[in-house]
Amino acid sequence: MSVTELLAPSSEAELSELVADHFARSAPLRITGGGTRTQNPGPGAALSLARLPGVVTYSPGEMTLVARAGTPLAEIMEMLAAEGQSLAFEPPDLRGISGSDGVPTIGGMVAANASGPRRLLAGACRDHLLGVRFVDGQGRILKNGGRVMKNVTGLDLSKLMAGAQGTLGVLTEVSMKTLPLPDRRATLAFPGVDAAAAVTIFSTALATPFEVSGAAWQDGTAFLRIEGLGPQLDYRSDRLLALFPGHRPELLDQPESDRLWRGLRDASAFAGSPAPLWRILCRPTEAPALSARLTALGGQLALDWGGGLIWYHGPGEVAQVRAIARHATLIRRGGLTGPAFPPETGPVAQISQGLRRRFDPAGILNPGLMDG
């Protein structure tokens, strides 16, 4: 079997048979989704869910959505927007930084637990996931969770599937919670600040009750986003401004604010470059020191999630970057070799290995992708 072979089942039953056959032969599979996120150069045939699209049901009144894994994310967002709703965690579109011409899908979004700047306020993708259907590494069709929030009971396997990158099973259907679109949006921009000053601004603003929905820093400017009803938004903006008498922030209007946060969500500042790009998770209080050490390698960086997420773009070998930031994922390889995901250690590694043995005993689903 060629490692370039593309498998594209047209039904869940066909997918189940295909995975069962690969399990019997211990033949690996690379689950590609839309091919727009983390690069997976591992062994085996590529498995696409592109022929499993479609919205199963959408209930705007109950704010719930059920869709097959291969459904393009753009179609989902357009449908929700027509009803004044959205996926509140703001899933990013990483085609610009990956150089992919693929199509982001809702299954790939869940598999990657893809969450944008609004994660600060709304939570991550997994927090809005109500249930899943998936095919495990033996070809069994499994279901967990429900289509409405009151039905989510028992062991919540859907939370395990979110962020597992396809190593526990191949998603075929997901149930999501939707929320209303914010009525208005505005951003306070603080120019001329370094990463340490930006984190101080973030921690001050996020300690208030004013519901900051975005806190990011890029190119020497810190940004705070607020969203809500008109009069409420004006009040919260004024109160936030009063917290920073030593700064003269600029208030961005809604169109400019929306353009800014789309770019921050998609890490657009790092698109169109062949250089390696890293996504680093850390405690916000660690961000200034990590940023200084990463900048010393000679690259550029940006902060999101109030300092909890660092994008690093530039030179540095895999071992160098991970010696600085242990939770660093290589999003764009740029010629680097080695594991994309950081190594798991201690109890976390034991739990992960145990789950993979349970759901994929032959180790055929994305082998090596998350082994570090």
Q: What is the pLDDT of residues 203-261, one digit of tens each?
A: 999 999 999 999 999 999 999 999 998 888 999 999 999 999 989 999 998 999 999 99
Amino acid at 106: I
Do 184-265 and 1-181+348-372 fall under one CATH topology?
Answer: no
Q: What is the CATH number of domain 1-181+348-372?
A: 3.30.465.10
Q: Mean pLDDT, to the nearest integer, of 305-332?
A: 96
**Does residue 272 carry a pLDDT above 50?**
yes
Q: Mean pLDDT, to the nearest integer, of 45-74?
A: 96
Q: What is the CATH number of domain 184-265?
A: 3.30.70.260
> How far apart, in Å, are the Cα atoms of 167 and each of 26, 108, 160, 315, 332?
15, 12, 10, 29, 20
Cα 81 from Cα 262, distance rounded (Å): 16
pLDDT 10s digits, 155-179: 578 889 999 999 999 999 999 999 9
Residue 338's pLDDT is what?
85
Report the predicted TM-score, pTM, of the whole model to 2 decimal places: 0.93
CATH 3.30.70 fits 268-332, yes or no: yes
**Does residue 1 carry a pLDDT above 50?**
no
Reading the block at residue 238, the tokens are: 């004024």
Tokens 């390889």 belong to 333
Residue 241's pLDDT is what?
93
Q: Which residues contact 235 (CB under 8 A, 6 or more apart)?
A: none
| DSSP E strands, 61-205 | 64-68, 85-86, 129-135, 141-145, 170-177, 179-180, 184-191
Break the chain into its structural domains and give their ranges. Answer: 1-181+348-372, 184-265, 268-332
Could you give phi then psi for residue 105, rounded to 5 degrees?
A: -120, 160
Residue 110's pLDDT is what?
97
